[in-house]
Amino acid sequence: MRRPHRHRRDLSGANVFVTGAASGIGRATAELLARHGAHLHLTDVDGPRLAEVADRLRAEGSTVVLAEPADIADYDAVRALAARVTDASGAMDAVLNVAGIAVWGTISAMEHEQWRRLVDVNLMGPVHVLETLVPPMVDAGRGGWIVNVSSAAGIIGMPWHAAYSATKFGLRGISEVLRFDLRPHGIHVCLVCPGGVDTGLTETVRIAGVDTASPAFERARAHFRRRAVSPERAAEAIVRGMLRRRYWVYTSGDIRLVHAVQRWCPPAYSLLMTLLNRGANRALPAVSRARRREQVG
């Protein structure tokens, strides 16, 4: 087994691949990595916005080797993109799985296709990236980083998050295994668990059975955004976690605290989740309750 002689101490000149780079945490992280001197290889499903990000970074003097749109749920597209990335720059030094979608809802409200799409994007998407880009990293023997962006919903039992949590717990499981599997190769794995982050997902999140255009939901969204951290702050936590070679990376102190309560005081965690669930169910709109009665009947 080839072992790297040293670990990278910085990101200057590092070949870095980032998914979801057109907006939110992915964009902010790509911009911060550029300021650290990384050579960027970017993708996102939104081609025009990705091109805008790449053009701006290049205009600022950053090195964007490649910026190509792709749907990470499409294995053939990811495999082809990974081949172009490797042909252009060789093995990556860091791979960041940031892209994801959000659909929440009760078990009665969620459609099967919503479950399927979440799994395809949030779980199989990162798998596609890992299986095509990590083997060249292992073969290169230079070490590096894998950064998988999970969620607070990959740690705790948040209301209406069963489908979303399935994907984020799955990514957490992959990360937990790879942190040990890849350690002999000098590849460090970071598992990022953001709490509230004010990204485009706050505008595009879908909640099955809930009218997200209603005044009540708009008030809830505004409250969330006031408490959420910025994508730039989340990016700072991610890059800091990479450079310090941390496994658990939190973007806000509240998630760190809840995770500690879950591990060290299970009764308090159970009470907290029970109260959170009751509050969420009280807010469940009439349309979802009517649909549940119809399905039961």
Q: Distance between CA 281 and CA 173 in Å, rounded?
A: 29
Q: Distance between CA 80 and CA 173 in Å, rounded?
A: 26
The two beta strands, 187-193 and 248-250, are parallel
Token pair recorded at residue 225:
């955004």
Active-site residue set? 164
Q: Distance between CA 235 and CA 194 in Å, rounded?
A: 10
What own/partner pairs with CB < 8 Å and gap ≥ 24 does 133-138 have? 133/17, 133/82, 133/85, 133/86, 133/92, 133/95, 134/95, 134/182, 134/187, 136/86, 136/90, 136/91, 136/92, 137/91, 137/92, 137/93, 137/95, 137/185, 137/187, 138/182, 138/185, 138/187
In terms of DSSP H, where are the helices of the chain? 24-35, 47-59, 75-89, 112-118, 125-140, 162-181, 201-204, 215-227, 231-243, 253-264, 266-282, 286-296
